[in-house]
Structure 1
Amino acid sequence: MREGFGPTWVISRWDEATVEETGSSPESPPALVLSGTAGLLLIRPPGDRSTWPDRAAFLRRLRDCADELAALLESRARNGVCDDYPGRNEPQTLKDAHHVAASTRPLPGSNLATWLKWRQANAKMYRAVSDVDRFHHHEIRYWVAHEEDKAEELAARIAKEKAETR
């Protein structure tokens, strides 16, 4: 955890998030209320209604960040991956895996052994991601097979070239 943050709310199973009215008059804005074992947090818009659209945009970003955090927690709970353990920077989605594969691709003209290692590493990476990104599981399994097939072709070419040079 980075230092310099203010109060920290550690989530418990009894915590709740609700939207509450802060009063009966139309001027009383609704508020987001987080309540639980850590205490009570009230997030409310300012009294100036002209700023409410900006505050609505903030709340949508907050929702998106909460969704991202929820997905990370679920993924790490399933896979036993936490920031303190190896694998924390491994790709978690098909898109991430494609990015890793593209960014580690050997330069044109690289020797066959380099390409073979790259294909084998891609197959291993895609296999691991197929267990995490369940939404794209079947598409990722295609990429596993594709990389394995390409690796086999390269291994056969390397073996053939070795046999021819003897």
Structure 2
Amino acid sequence: MTDEQLHITPRLGRILMSEEAIYGLILVSGMIVVSGSAHGSSLDAFITVLVTVVVFFAAHVYAGTLGRLAATDGHAGLRASLMAAVHQSSGMLLASVPPLIILLLGATRVIDDSTTLWAALIVNTALLGVLGWIAVARWSTHWVPRLLSALTTAAFGGALIILKAVIHH
């Protein structure tokens, strides 16, 4: 499965293939586990995840802007540094959309509240696997490294699913 097979634009593909997108999915999964263990409701998880992602995104943009300014001794300019940092960090926001939609469906009772947290974690894990597959598919036509990458990337989500299972049972 490649970007073209998924009908992903080159720009969207670059955003999704960023470390920020993968980190964002893992962050969201961790926040779902933590918020679900503390309160258990989809609404609480939605609010916790949304606020956390926005704060981490803002912190990442701030740090990226400062880093670019420092690396260029300020010659890059504030606006250019800020825009580069926003672009670099946008994967974190984009990756959080599917789980946030699932959590919102639970918060509005479209999906059963108890199922919602698990569904969001499973979707995140599947998305991590897809991102791992596509990342390697960009440089290898062999299925073994693609599969190993998908499994390794998905394992981060799987570890958080196991953590949720241990916390709740």
TM-score normalised by length of structure 1: 0.32
Name the structure where strand makes up a greater proportion of residues.
1
Name the structure where helix makes up a greater proportion of residues.
2
TM-score normalised by length of structure 2: 0.32
Q: Which has the larger radius of gyration?
A: 1
